[in-house]
Amino acid sequence: MDVTIIEEHQRFDWDRYAIAWVVHSDKLRGAAVERAKANIMHRWAHEIVRLGKGDHHTYYETRHLKSQPSLASQLRRQL
């Protein structure tokens, strides 16, 4: 996730869209990142298609949260 998204899109109407935030292990690199994202999407596809307008859920390999990832947690991953 690009952690500048909030600053760059201040007037974005977040409530108009369903967003599935896909978070993979920050230890992965290269092709392993793409495999992890595909696996997460495959595992949670039935849940993701049920998202409605304004839903922002976060999907990990083994769990999902009914909230978006916090900006603070994403910044920590960048360090």
List the domain boundaries for the chain: 14-78
The Cα 48–Cα 20 span in angstroms is: 7
Query: What average pLDDT does this structure show over 7-30?
Result: 87
Is pTM beyond 0.85? Reply is no
What mean pLDDT, rounded, does the chain reach?
Answer: 84
pLDDT at 76: 59
Reduced DSSP (H G I as helix, E B as strand, rest coil) percent helix, strand, coil of the chain, to 5: 40, 15, 45
Q: What is the pLDDT of residues 49-76, one digit of tens each?
A: 999 999 999 999 999 999 877 655 665 5
Contact 32, 40 (CB under 8 A): no
Q: Which amino acid is at 56?
A: H
